[in-house]
Amino acid sequence: MAEGAAFLKAVELRLLRSSLSHFHSPPPPIPHPLIESLVDSIERGRYADVLSSSEATQLLFGFADSWEFDDSIEGASRFYDEVERSIDRFLRSDSEAWLQVLDDGGGDDMDVEFRYALLMCLGVAALLAFTQQNVTGPVGNYSPFPVLIGSKDRPVNGGVQWDAWALSQLTSVGCGLLGKFSLLQYIVYAKLLLSKSRDLSKAVMDIGRIGNRTTSWWLCRLTLLQQRISDELSSSLYELLKIFRDETLLHFGKSENIMDYWGSMSYKEEALMIASVAYLEAAILEYKYGRVDDSRSHLDFAEKSCGLQLFLTGALGFRTAHQVDPKAQMVLITDTDQQNHGNESPMDSTLAHVLDHTSENNGDPNTNADHDFCDILMRPRLVEGGNDGQVNGIGKNVALTATQQAVVLAQCLHLSRRSRDDELSRWEMAPYIEAIDAQQQSYFTIRNFCDLLRIRWESTRSRTKQRALLMMDKVVEGVNVDLPGVAERIKFSYGVYVPTIPALKKEYGEILVSCGLIGEALKIFEDLELWDNLIYCYRILEKKAAAVDLINARLLVIPTDPKLWCSLGDVTNNDAYYEKALEVSNNKSVRAKRSLARSAYNRKDYETSKSLWEAAMAQNSFYPEGWFALGFAALKAGDYEKALDGFTQTVLFDPENGDAWNNIACLHLKKKKTKEAFVAFREALKFKRNRWELWANYSKVAFDIGNIGQALEATKKVLELPGNKGIDVELLEKVMEKIEEKSSESAVTSNSDSTPENSREIDFLLGMVGNILQLAIRGGGSEDLWGLYARWHKIKGDLLMCKEALLKQIRSYQGVDMWHDLERFKKFARASLQLCQVCMEIASSTGSRSELAWAERHLSNAIKQAVDFSCTEEFRDLQNCLNKVQNQ
């Protein structure tokens, strides 16, 4: 089986190399002339030749010669169903033959390997053709059909409905497309070929023999590309990506596994590069889905595998052309392991005249090439001859391989996810951008991505915005130029997060809008069929009617496009158009369901809103705003379990959503789960620290679980925040009772049994309560606050201050209305009794009769005025207290 295995492995290695960096090693020979021809065409970027190969088409899809073309969705469905059956027949028989070979322990299995190699060549060619047409450029002259229908002499024309069928296949994951893409059938066709090949070879791989392992890697690239052309994240695509990613890293995450698989066809340097790229692409995948920690972990592995170490340091330099004094500049230092990676070439030397970046500015950071109007240097000019020898060499450029350059740029992606999108985070990315910008040679895709990162950074600064616009214009124009060729552009097109061509043009349009060039942006958005952006521009121009007319005109051409109906619903605020979108999409338009759910919520039809949100999230769960809206609708509808599920899913996607954490805490409170509520409130307060309502709720929950210190800290925070409605006196009452209880226990405990920890805890709590009461009283103390303040002074042992506080509490109660309000009188009576009790204690300790005389006068006056309440228990208590004072 060795000859057949080596045959398929050679095909896999050469196809993988076609998308990676150049290595100075001869390609492994392929003994079959047809496969050799197909692989050679792929390496040269002639993907159309592969897909239009009559010999390959005849072997796989002989039925296509006589297929009766029908330009309809049903016709496309029938054709690709037959394509799938043909692939099954082509592979199924050889799968049985392969297993037979394994059972026999030998035999001629070249035909088996040939069939899998043929499918891989066609699948990879279709994927790379789609990538060329929609990501890297230049736009090629491709047939709309990836399978040769009829013959080259009588080509089939049309195919609009077939593209509509392919669009429905791609949007079945619950997402629309981010603009207008071409060759949609190609990516569906590539997925069909590669998936069938992988599924039918799994059995061979599982029993430990050779299978086409790189198929999982190509499927991971294809699925991620499908996600990138979608207008939002898809949960079903992520589940697939996790499977393909894990298989890829299992087989290609270690250089040892790579060397074992390809043997003498590869070597250590190449194996390390392949392992690095595998982790790099996994990091990009996790970045796309916002998994910051996983992305960072994969980036670390990629950095280690490619022999790269990155350090940020500071150095004096000049940032502008007219700057007089040098300022501190952030600079990236790259430390490379040349021994392990010295054989990788950053580019093909035959294309140096095309990709040599230094020809623009001769490597001089003082030169701005075509942007002389801008006095901001492209890279800082560092001061030479510093005191530190190491710092003195910072400005010297270290030649990085293509893999290392891609890893450096990937750091910018991590920085953008790790922190907020503000000016500081963009300046943190600057050293990485400038380090790659200083490289003399880079692949087209890597250079383009570096320029895009610079454009995104400089477009936010007024002094460099014009340069960013001109650079963006140049990048967009560069997509359509002939040089460099597609074979060079395709390299590292999956290893850097370069946007698709429609996404690039959309970004260009947004920059034009920010510069006030709305007319130019309108043309771009209309060509890309980005109706939402188009509506936004028309609203800026106050031409809402023009947007409606344009969408209606497009609906006359494509009446079955649910995205158009939804856009029309957005601009007219009419639910009928969303319902029409559901109708034409066979109830699959997630956007229409979301819009109808929002409309139902605004009408206060919470049950309908909840049901629609559930249906939308069932189709695509990667939408944090949808989970939050579902939780809120369920909360309003009284379905607390569903509301809790919605908010919980929200924080799983967005752990920094303070409102969702707050709602989770409140729902836990409703269910009497105070510990869970405490944890949720604590998370909410990390992101909503200026919401006094959150602090008030947090204080209650903290007290309920016995954390009095946290409860008091939260209560104090409530008082410090503006707009608060005062503190919770009832909570302070409970805290005071706890402190009094602890103080009384400490008083009756013998000295030998008491512990310093108890005393320190009481002192700490008393200090906290005192600070809170003083803050509250400064803002205007109420009767209850003065009562608490008096109790606090009594615990502290300050009877005179306790008397003053009680006196202020009594005066707060006094007034004309008190003698006609029973409840107010009762509070007055209780405070008076406490005051007189304190007076008797003061008299007992000092021997002074003045306190008793004051208490006697106060009680006598109170009894005289409270004749209307003579039948109450509080009135009798006042009389008894008067007798007691008189008998002292």
The DSSP annotation for 414-433 comes to HHHHHS-SSHHHHHHHHHHH
Confidence of residue 417 (pLDDT cuts 50, 70, 90): confident
> CA angle, corner 609, sides to 604 and 614, nearest 5?
160
Per-residue model confidence (pLDDT) at position 432: 94
Residue 886 has pLDDT above 70, yes or no: yes
Regarding predicted confidence, which is higher, 555 or 769? Answer: 555
Residue 652 lies in a domain: yes
Number of folded domains that form the chain: 2
Alpha-helix residue ranges (DSSP H) falling in 132-267? 160-170, 184-206, 214-228, 235-252, 255-262
The one-character DSSP state at 459 is T
The one-character DSSP state at 396 is S
Residue 364 has pLDDT above 60, yes or no: no
Confidence of residue 126 (pLDDT cuts 50, 70, 90): very high
Per-residue model confidence (pLDDT) at position 105: 42
Residue 395 has pLDDT above 60, yes or no: no
Residue 698 lies in a domain: no
Per-residue model confidence (pLDDT) at position 358: 43
Per-residue model confidence (pLDDT) at position 407: 96
Per-residue model confidence (pLDDT) at position 578: 96
Residue 67 has pLDDT above 50, yes or no: yes
Among 464, 453, 438, 555, which Cα is nearest to 497's?
A: 453
Per the document, the length of the chain is 888
Regarding predicted confidence, which is higher, 716 or 609? Answer: 609
- Identify the domain boundary among 212, 239, 262: 212
Residue type, 226: Q
Average pLDDT score over residue span 351-373: 49
Give the separation between CA 778 and CA 771, rounded to whole angstroms: 11
Regarding predicted confidence, which is higher, 408 or 730? Answer: 408
| pLDDT tens, position by position, 854-867 | 888 888 888 888 77
> CA angle, corner 350, sides to 346 and 354, nearest 5?
75
Residue 94 has pLDDT above 70, yes or no: no
Average pLDDT score over residue span 479-495: 93
Could you write out the three-class secondary structure of 397-408? CCCCCHHHHHHH
Averaged pLDDT of the chain: 85
Among 74, 47, 51, 69, which Cα is nearest to 146's?
A: 51
Regarding predicted confidence, which is higher, 204 or 631? Answer: 631
User: In the block, which residue shows the tokens 């007798």?
Assistant: 883
Per-residue model confidence (pLDDT) at position 762: 78
Residue 104 has pLDDT above 50, yes or no: no
Residue 630 lies in a domain: yes
Residue type, 390: Q
Radius of gyration of the chain (CA): 38
Q: What is the pTM of this model?
A: 0.82
Window from 12-21, 204-213, 358-367 with minimum mean pLDDT: 358-367
Average pLDDT score over residue span 438-447: 93
Residue 96 lies in a domain: yes
Structure tokens at 731: 């909570």
Indicate if the alpha-carbon torsion angle 374, 408, 313, 339 is positive or negative.
negative
Q: Which residues contact 187 (CB under 8 A, 6 or more apart)?
A: 126, 127, 130, 166, 170, 222, 225, 226
How far, in Å, are 562, 566, 610 from residue 533 at the CA level? 17, 13, 29
362 C-beta neighbours (distance < 10 Å), count: 9
Q: How far does CA 306 lie from the centroid of its chain?
A: 27
Residue 103 has pLDDT above 80, yes or no: no
Average pLDDT score over residue span 300-314: 93
Among 160, 179, 195, which Cα is nearest to 70's?
A: 160
Q: Which residues contact 413 (CB under 8 A, 6 or more apart)?
A: 283, 284, 287, 295, 497
Residue 107 lies in a domain: yes
Alpha-helix residue ranges (DSSP H) falling in 230-322? 235-252, 255-262, 268-288, 292-305
Residue 723, classed as helix, strand or coil, is coil
Which class for 515: exposed (0-12), middle (13-18), buried (19 or more C-beta within 10 A)? middle
Give the separation between CA 235 and CA 247, rounded to whole angstroms: 19
Give the separation between CA 568 and CA 213, rounded to whole angstroms: 47
Residue 845, classed as helix, strand or coil, is helix
Percent of the chain with pLDDT over 90: 49
Regarding predicted confidence, which is higher, 843 or 118? Answer: 118
Among 275, 279, 243, 245, which Cα is nearest to 260's?
A: 275
Give the separation between CA 394 and CA 397, rounded to whole angstroms: 8
Backbone angles phi, psi at 201, to 5 degrees: -95, -5
Per-residue model confidence (pLDDT) at position 95: 44
Per-residue model confidence (pLDDT) at position 421: 67
Name the β-bridge partners of 318.
381
Average pLDDT score over residue span 252-257: 94
Residue 35 has pLDDT above 80, yes or no: yes
Residue 473 has pLDDT above 80, yes or no: yes
- Identify the domain boundary among 192, 212, 232: 212
Window from 310-314, 465-469, 858-862 with minimum mean pLDDT: 858-862
Per-residue model confidence (pLDDT) at position 801: 85
Confidence of residue 208 (pLDDT cuts 50, 70, 90): very low
Per-residue model confidence (pLDDT) at position 211: 61
Give the separation between CA 149 and CA 162, rounded to whole angstroms: 13
Range of the domain at 161: 2-212
422 C-beta neighbours (distance < 10 Å), count: 9
Residue 765 lies in a domain: no
Residue 506 has pLDDT above 80, yes or no: yes
Residue 104, classed as helix, strand or coil, is helix
Per-residue model confidence (pLDDT) at position 99: 43
Per-residue model confidence (pLDDT) at position 40: 95
Give the separation between CA 876 and CA 178, rounded to whole angstroms: 82
Residue 777 lies in a domain: no
Regarding predicted confidence, which is higher, 152 or 144? Answer: 144
Residue 120 has pLDDT above 80, yes or no: yes
| pLDDT tens, position by position, 323-344 | 899 999 999 998 887 544 445 5
Window from 115-129, 375-389, 779-793 with minimum mean pLDDT: 375-389
Confidence of residue 172 (pLDDT cuts 50, 70, 90): confident
Residue 245 lies in a domain: no
- Identify the domain boundary among 160, 181, 212: 212
Name the β-bridge partners of 648.
none
- The 10 Å CB-count burial string (b at 16+, else e) for 278-310 is bbbbbbbbbbbbebeebbbebbebbbbbbbbeb
Percent of the chain with pLDDT over 70: 88
Regarding predicted confidence, which is higher, 23 or 29? Answer: 29
Regarding predicted confidence, which is higher, 21 or 406? Answer: 406
Per-residue model confidence (pLDDT) at position 59: 87
Residue 7 has pLDDT above 50, yes or no: yes
